[in-house]
Amino acid sequence: MSIYDTLNNEQREAVFHTEGPLLILAGAGSGKTRVLTHRIAYLIDEMGVNPWNILAITFTNKAAGEMRERVDRIVGFGSESIWVSTFHSTCVRILRRHIDRLGFGTNFTIYDADDQKTLMKDVCKQLQIDTKIYKERNLLAAISSAKDEMILPDEYELNAGGDYHKQKIAKVYREYQKQLKANNALDFDDLLVKTVQLLQTQPDILEYYQERFRYIMVDEYQDTNTVQFKLISILAKKYRNLCVVGDDDQSIYKFRGANIKNILNFEDVFEDARVIKLEQNYRSTETILNAANGVIRNNYGRKDKALWTENGVGDKLVFQQFDNAYDEADYVVSDIREHVREGERSYNEHAILYRTNAQSRIFEEKFVTANIPYKIVGGINFYARKEIKDLLAYLKTIDNGLDDLAVRRIINVPKRGIGLTTINRVQENAAERGVSFYEALRTADMIPGIGKAATKLDSFVALMEHFKESAKKMLVSELMQEILDYTGYLETLEEEGKEEAEARKENIDELLSKIAAYEESCEDEAPTLSGFLEEVALVADIDSLDENSDYVVLMTLHSAKGLEFPEVYMVGMEDGIFPSYMTVTEGDMEELEEERRLCYVGITRAMENLTLTCARRRMIRGEVQYNKMSRFLKEIPVHLFGNKVKSEREDMDAVKANAYLQAKQAFKTQAFSSMKPAQNFGVKTGGGLDYEVGDRVKHMKFGEGLVTSIVEGGRDYEVTVAFDNVGTKKMFAGFAKLQKV
């Protein structure tokens, strides 16, 4: 029996089609790596192609290693001559031999992100660029995007035209490249750009590599950017034996520069291209695939295909809507525990997928409480994240100045110009006197050799003493807000670039939500700073898990690509969470289609069972927000669910009823537990309102929303509305002029 007999008809067709351009549209779980490795084997064994003439490109070192292993296993002798590598390592190999043609030494250095940052600081200093306006990370991101599109400094300057901002970036870009060259260095983007430049300007080198790589294969083609497309197009131009494998429905890396048009327009560039669709899925049940097909068919920018399987129909999908995020987490954790207790599953057969890293916090806490092992993939534990550790260190220092580690962590965060030499002198003095680090700081002017740094240390101590006084009369949530305001911590995050800063802010928002939840939970006793820190310490104190142990996996949808699990939970399925708030409010169809592809990736990770959950209300940034269920849920055919997915009207009725009960309870509490003097809001309404809690209302600017709270003041009502598109807003009824819908 031949190794090719194990392939299905479409897979065999893809393996046997060796000459000319070929696009393999490989749906999720359709065995694309198998096809690629068998195709390489067929070229060598059956077609007599020299292994030396084959180039296989993947995106990650891990994928390259796996492919190399499988090729070696199938091909055997001679397979070592095949180039199996990533885009970047392919380029490095070429440049090490020939970059002297471009005026660089072949012993060039490759700069990592930190090297780039240091260099950019020098460039900004030299050009007298105000880094408060032009953040270093943002400048590097703009240069990286330009390189992804193969736009060099001259062209960038030309495109800038009369745009002052872009002209500035063009100057920085030019100087940055100049200094890279002076240092005989390349950044990661340069590896690709310089290789393309080399092939475009040196005909003899181009000829050599075109002859060398007569058969080229590219995996994950949907993730390529413009410069990567350019590279493989040039290399394949002579023999045109280019085979690309990808799935346009799994293109989810636009934020990294991926250009989906590379796969969508492949046949326009290579007019005689053969297209083969791999639609048979070997991973999931029919029900799961029908759900994925139901969602993705709503995208316009895609190739028409539909996954199918011989695996059987399988169980219906589970949909659960909860009142809040805590109930959602309780359900998921209890469900997993039940599966394991009944002996149906082990922990590592479960995965929880979410849109943003910040969503992991509640699940982490529930797992710790339930004593269930878990691991976060593609991220670090919530309480181990830098920004969370920084802010907790502030709280620890305020609560207990004896925690030297906490004090030392924040003494120069954000930067206060306190250097390592100064910190070491304080540390030595504290050790000599047998006092804490903070105590030594309080008498910094007495430390020998401290000099001018004493003033900076005094300012830090004064700030801490101010916070200690605030802590006596403030709630923990108010104190945390004051720390953020006084230190300017959030502003310093902006230096890290938009994407990084947003992720860190989301985590800080989640910490604020955690504090608010802690304060709410202290029913019988007053919430304290010590109490909060104790609760966090108990949750955060988790031993690092063994890689081989049995644990539940938590990860973002982006991190889940390429993986599979018998049991998958997609949580936070709400408009404003997934699809994201920005996507919903800005109405960008391309962005919405990218989010929908992400949903498709999530669904197709499930092998046997898929559970989708959402919450009617969720605490975000310390405020309760009311979210509609995700539009993606409604794109899944209703008959695939084992339970009913409510209509929007039913959903609204449930929210309305819940909001009414909350308002009723709040009225009792406010009316009888604390007789506060009436607030004087300043505008006379002249009678009651024609709407109440739970009603839908319309605002001239913000559109439609749900009334979640009405507080009666002396002269006006303070109304809180959860708007569909702009989130929760508080306003005075007299000014707002809300109309009942």
Structure tokens that stand for 278 in this block: 């791999």
Whether residue 554 contacts residue 373, with contact meaning beta carbons closer than 8 Å, is answered with no
Query: Rounded to whole angstroms, how far apart are CA atoms 175 and 182?
Result: 10
Structure tokens that stand for 201 in this block: 């300007």
Whether residue 341 contacts residue 511, with contact meaning beta carbons closer than 8 Å, is answered with no
Q: Coil, strand, or helix at residue 275?
A: strand
Catalytic residue numbers? 32-33, 219-220, 250, 605
Nearest to 627 by CA among 639, 613, 641: 613
Query: Rounded to whole angstroms, how far apart are CA atoms 563 and 101?
Result: 42
Query: Rounded to whole angstroms, how far apart are CA atoms 654 and 649?
Result: 9
Whether residue 678 contacts residue 714, with contact meaning beta carbons closer than 8 Å, is answered with yes
How far is CA 482 from each of CA 52, 476, 477, rounded to the nearest angstrom?
A: 65, 10, 9
Whether residue 313 contacts residue 286, with contact meaning beta carbons closer than 8 Å, is answered with yes
> Rounded to 5 degrees, what angle do the CA atoms 339, 552, 323 make?
75
Other Cβ atoms within 10 Å of 407 Cβ, number: 25
Query: Rounded to whole angstroms, how far apart are CA atoms 37 and 74?
Result: 8
Whether residue 205 contacts residue 101, with contact meaning beta carbons closer than 8 Å, is answered with yes
Structure tokens that stand for 143 in this block: 């240069």
Q: What is the end-to-end Cα distance of the chain in Å, rounded?
A: 70
Query: Rounded to whole angstroms, how far apart are CA atoms 522 and 92?
Result: 59
Query: Rounded to whole angstroms, how far apart are CA atoms 441 and 616?
Result: 49
Nearest to 183 by CA among 127, 97, 104, 238: 104
Q: What DSSP state is assigned to residue 252? A: -
| Side-chain half-sphere exposure of 627, counting CA atoms within 13 A | 29
User: What DSSP line would sit under 511-544, residue for residue?
Assistant: HHHHHHHHHHH-SSS---HHHHHHHHHHHH--PP
Whether residue 364 contacts residue 566, with contact meaning beta carbons closer than 8 Å, is answered with no
How far is CA 477 from each of CA 86, 473, 486, 517, rounded to the nearest angstrom?
A: 47, 12, 14, 10
